[in-house]
Structure 1
Amino acid sequence: MIPILLIFLSCVFSVAEPAYPVLNDETKQFIIERAQESIEEKYDPKEYRFTLSARWIPGSLLKTSPENVRSVRLSGVVEQYTNFEVLYIEGNKPEQVQIQLKVETEQKLPVPNHRMTSGETIEAKDLSWRWVPVRMGRDNPVRKLEELNGKTLRRTLNPGQPIQHSEISTPYLVEAGEDVDLVFTEFGIQIILTCEARQSGAINEDIQIYCKETRNKYLGKVKGPGEALWQKTH
């Protein structure tokens, strides 16, 4: 009776065993760590911090042991979802596969330490260095404090918000609501109309202008204090 019971229990346990190898969490962690190292080789850790997590890793790779993983290399540029090439050994043969990891990035940047409004001039006392989240490949924040000092904000920013290059300009030469000389030059003839600036603008920036005399709206390029060159009539 006992041998029959042993045979029955043996069959039950053999059926309960998994049909495929269990995915190896140690391998996944090992790959993520090597991937992070490959990124940090290209970026200064004093300026960037990265947090990586798995987005897509083939099951065949996760079934292998960490010691079979030979290399993990960055493929292309760092973005929110970044590709890596993994070289590993499978059955005594080298295999190469592409994986995708989610990369969260922080960058140490000069940012406003208080709310700053559009048109305000930036001074060093307005800024402090902080680690802030950025989108690699999409954001283009100003990285140096000296590039911001004395510049004018084009839009309102909150404390700790990164400042993009497109959000700053040199000090305005024309202020919204002020009179501006709109200069027309054609065929050697120059005409100057005194109009009203509808936008503030720095040197070589296009601004909207309204002229009561002609009752027309114009687009003008700022060329000096209170002066703009006609670009087109709306």
Structure 2
Amino acid sequence: MILPISCSAFPRTALVLALVAGGMPAVAQESAGQAATQIATNQAAGEVVLIPNRVIYPGELIELAALKPVTLIPGKHKPDAVATRAEELNGKVAKRTLLPGRYIPTSAIRDAWLVEQGAAVQVFFTAGTLTISATAVTLQPGAAGDLIKVRNSDSGKILSGTVMADGTIRVSAS
């Protein structure tokens, strides 16, 4: 037997599906006092967060000019694991499309690559006072602290090493 869907249940179900499929919209005021923007929160009134003011595409560097501040409205629930401050967003790279007026999930951003795939880098092995260096080619990109694979230019051997803050690779004995 097919049960009819009540008129009030159908729009509510459609709204829930749209929220799940399309992101997390709700209401906030722009800090400049302009029209309301779609965003939710459980923060105190007057707190300012940053959201995209235009579409940010995957692989694009997130700059403060691509973000706009909004003042949050109390009473709504801001989802966990979203980046809303300049320190969390400036200089990061989008891993997926970020839409205007929506929160930016922390899973949708990453640090900018310090070494690109195919770049020539210096590889260092240090054991006590002994230091061995070689030139290698990166087989994958990486940010500081990432474990990546590199190919030794002289021997052709593939090594795994950690990307250091200065762009060199540190390998250890295995």
Could you tell me the TM-score, scaled by structure 1's length?
0.43
Is residue 2:62 matched to residue 1:122? yes
Which secondary structure state, in structure 2, belongs to the residue aligned with residue 147 of structure 1? helix
| Matching residue of 1:211 | 152
Cα distance change of structure 1 residues 215 and 175 upon mapping to structure 2, 3 Å threshold: same
Higher strand share goes to which structure? 1
Q: 1:168 maps to which residue?
A: 110
Q: State the Cα deviation string for residues 20-79 of structure 1 (Å, max 9, x = none).
A: xxxxxxxxxxxxxxxxxxxxxx932659xxxxxxxxxxxxxxxxxxxxxxxxxxxxxxxx
- Aligned equivalent of 1:220: 161
Aligned partner of residue 58 in structure 2, secondary structure: coil
2:110 counterpart letter in structure 1:
I
Q: Check 1:222–1:113 CA distance in 2 against 1; reply closer, same or farther (3 A cut).
A: same
Which residue of 87, 91, 97 maps to 1:157? 97
Q: Over residues 178-218 of structure 1, what are the superposed CA-to-partner deviations in whole Å (9 max), with x where a residue is unaligned?
A: 11111111242111121111233333232222224333322
Structure with a larger share of its residues in helix: 1
CA RMSD of aligned residues (A): 3.5
- Equivalent residue pairs, number: 126
- The 4+ residue runs of structure 1 with deviation greater than 3 A are 128-131
Q: TM-score, normalised by structure 2?
A: 0.55
Q: What's 1:193 paired with?
A: 134
> What percentage of aligned pairs have identical amino acids?
21
Larger of the two Rg values belongs to structure: 1
Mapped partners of 2:147, 2:130: distance in 1: 22
1:104-162: CA deviations, max 9, x gaps?
xxxx75236213232x322112223579xx984xx41112134312x231623332462
Aligned partner of 2:43 in structure 1 is: 44
Query: CA–CA distance in 1 between the matches of 2:129 and 2:108?
Result: 35
Partner letter of residue 56 of structure 2? R
If asked which structure has higher relative contact order (CA below 8 Å, sep 6+), I would say 2
**C-alpha distance in 2 between matches for 1:208 and 1:123:** 30
In structure 1, what residue type is equivalent to 2:42? Y
Q: Which runs of 5+ in 2 are unaligned?
A: 1-40
